[in-house]
Amino acid sequence: MRQLERSEKLVQLLAEHRLSLALAESCTGGSIAGLITDIPGASQVFAGGVVAYTPEAKTSLLGLVAAELPPGCIGAELTKAMAVRVMSRLRTDLALAITGALGPTSPESIQVGEVYISIVGLGQQEVKKFIFAGDRQTIKDAAVAASIDNLLAYIARWYVA
């Protein structure tokens, strides 16, 4: 399924269940939000997002504590905290956050292609780790696709009408 088709399916599913979504993107730089807002009617379900690329942006935009940020600002706990914060700040039903190393280099403890995606809402919270291969753009594209796919699966798994 193409990226645009995934996004369209996501917007339709959110609308069908009357759910709202917020995003906190780091390594994807707003690409997930861009795909969602390409879909007509997205404003009915997508509240907004934060591109918190630097440590300073993570602290000022999301209110995270600088001393608690992991090396390279990549990791499961950080990604969970980002999702919780953006959901709270934008008062949505769901939130997704993403951090990762796109390469070509990465911090010593982080592998190039290592990406964390966290989704919160509907009384649940999850974080998944991925290792994507390829160049910077290939990894970014894979991270965006995995984000949309994981949102679709999360809603299908946890939504109770």
Q: Is the domain covering 3-158 a CATH 2.40.50.320 domain?
A: no
Q: In which residue ranges of the chain is pLDDT below 70?
A: 1, 160-161
The reported pLDDT for the residue numbered 160 is 59
Q: What is the pLDDT of residue 158?
A: 83
pLDDT of residue 1: 61
Predicted local distance difference test score (pLDDT) of residue 161:
54
- Of 33, 22, 160, the C-alpha closest to 91 is 22
pLDDT, tens digit, 9 for 90 and up, residues 92-112: 999 999 999 999 988 888 999
pLDDT of residue 4: 80
